[in-house]
Amino acid sequence: MERGIRLAITGGIGSGKSVVSRMLDIMGVPVYDCDSRAKMMMVGNSYVVEELKRMFGEECYNDDGSLNRQYIASRIFTDKENIRRMNALIHPLVKDDFKRWADGQLSPLVAVETAVLYESGMIDAVDKVLVVWAGKETAIERSMARGKMTRRQVENRMENQMAADELLLLSDYSLCNDNGCPLLPQLIPLLEELKNISNFELTD
Ligand code: ADP
């Protein structure tokens, strides 16, 4: 494949996607983070800013122009129609941004971290899918330990995401990140395999 391999890193909230993304990054794989790129667009892209205000009100932004995350979360994660409207705005823009970013990378293997691979349409922009998995209780406890979400909020988010078993069925690769499943011994052979299909060289 001339343009190299595009790997999606997906999984539910608290599964360990960000940890795996950081590990891949350290091993030399450029990783695009949909969440942070989407958040950047929500303050830096004037079209997105105006659309969000139109859909959900001026309260989306604080007086200094920063995003009122708490307000947006309260409107989005409790209302399926609001999630749909938000996603319809952001997801196509993030997908295009990822493709432009990936086109500009020299590495034969790049990755994209997203919790909503299928729902966002990002699946059309990748070649392989890696699912990171942790048991529900582990994922809830780890998400709560970050200190920003209650159990109910984590469970709400989970209900709006695809179930782990469904994701696993659709994936090319999976990593177990439950308690007692060390990641590195799983990640190294996976990278070797990806290396074989993409000419990727592991960082020493
Ligand atoms: P996601 O990006 O899928 O929501 P994260 O990678 O942010 O999940 O992991 C959720 C939380 O759990 C983070 O605080 C992270 O540091 C922690 N965590 C992830 N994997 C492990 C692990 N194997 N052991 C202990 N803590 C972990």
Name the band, by pLDDT with cuts 50, 70 and 90, for residue 1: very low
Token pair 């590990």 is at which residue? 23
Q: Measured from the CB, is residue 177 less than 6 Å from ligand 1?
A: yes
Token pair 């070797």 is at which residue? 192
Strands (E), the chain: 5-10, 31-33, 109-113, 128-133, 173-176
- Which ligand 1 atom is at minimum distance from the Cα of 13? 4
Q: Where are the domains of the chain?
A: 5-197
pTM of the model: 0.90
From the options 3.40.50.300, 3.40.47.40, 3.30.365.10, 3.50.50.60, give the CATH code of 5-197.
Answer: 3.40.50.300
**Helix segments in 27-170, DSSP class H:** 34-44, 46-56, 69-76, 80-103, 136-145, 151-159, 164-170
Name the band, by pLDDT with cuts 50, 70 and 90, for residue 108: very high
The residue-averaged pLDDT of 161-173 equals 93
7 closest CA partner among 84, 92, 136, 107: 107
Query: How far, in Å, is the centroid of ligand 1 from the Cα of 96?
Result: 28
- Closest residue by Cα to atom 13, ligand 1, is 142
- Which ligand 1 atom is at minimum distance from the Cα of 181? 23
Q: Is the pLDDT of residue 201 over 70?
A: no
